[in-house]
Structure 1
Amino acid sequence: MIKKALAFITIGVIAVAAYIFYGQEAVATEVTLYKNPQCGCCESYADYLRENGFVVTVKPTHDLVPMSKKAGIPEEYQGCHLAFIDDYVVSGHVPIDTVNKLLSEKPDIKGVTLPGMPTGSPGMGGPKTGSFIIYQINDKSPTVYATE
């Protein structure tokens, strides 16, 4: 009788664990992306994030430079759009592997930036011509976070 009860409990625990790990749908991470109203590459980057499972709200603005400065990004390190994901800021055309690294590692930084508009980066046209150097933003000078 006890063996049957233990078997029943074990099956129940396995069923609950299977539901938790496989039966629930993953909750998509929400992103708010601020961009210049006329910028098409920023829309392409928003689509890139959507293709990688994010729910993106795009908000046109003419205040990217002051918003980026307020987020702690020095002007020479700013990208062409500004995204807020979880508790982080992501500036520019940062590749998804680095975004996922940021969200999984959860470092004690403000966020990451890929300055400028590098050719071949996500959302930009053309072939990739070199490594993308992504910087971490904190209270000090930006330092390299990842190279892709």
Structure 2
Amino acid sequence: MRKAIHVESNLDSLIFNYFCYPQHDKGFLFLDSILNRTNFERKIEILKQICEKEEVELEADVIDSIKFVKDKRNRVTHHEAWAVDWGEGTVLRRLRARKGGQMEQLELTNDLMKQVEEKRLYAIKGLAKVNLELSKHYIPRFNELLQR
């Protein structure tokens, strides 16, 4: 779950810097009142809109990686923890009424954890690349303000 939080905090930072650079008190109000209350999926949509508006390339694989990590986080968070140690990892289960009462099972194995880590790193690198491109747009505007 920490891995997903790390991705989300990078996403938050990118959105915050886009709307509130340079940082000021209103920016922190934006963070507390709006951004921290926005769900992960909506933040992804905001990221897409920012990139489209600023004509910054956002690779589909970056979005896929963010969603993969988010999905695993959600499944771990919302599964009723029935832990069984099979030496390979832990199994979490929960009853999903909307699937006709069938049990959905998530196996937390070393392979899955490795895959989550790879996707997390890819997502963070992609977000850093986007953030760098966006900074080329808003840092010059800030420098103009300083020179006035």
Instruction: Give the TM interval when normalised to the shorter protein.
Output: under 0.3
**Larger RCO (CA within 8 A; separation ≥ 6):** 2
* TM-score between the two structures when normalised by the length of structure 2: 0.19
Structure with greater proportional strand content = 1
* TM-score between the two structures when normalised by the length of structure 1: 0.19
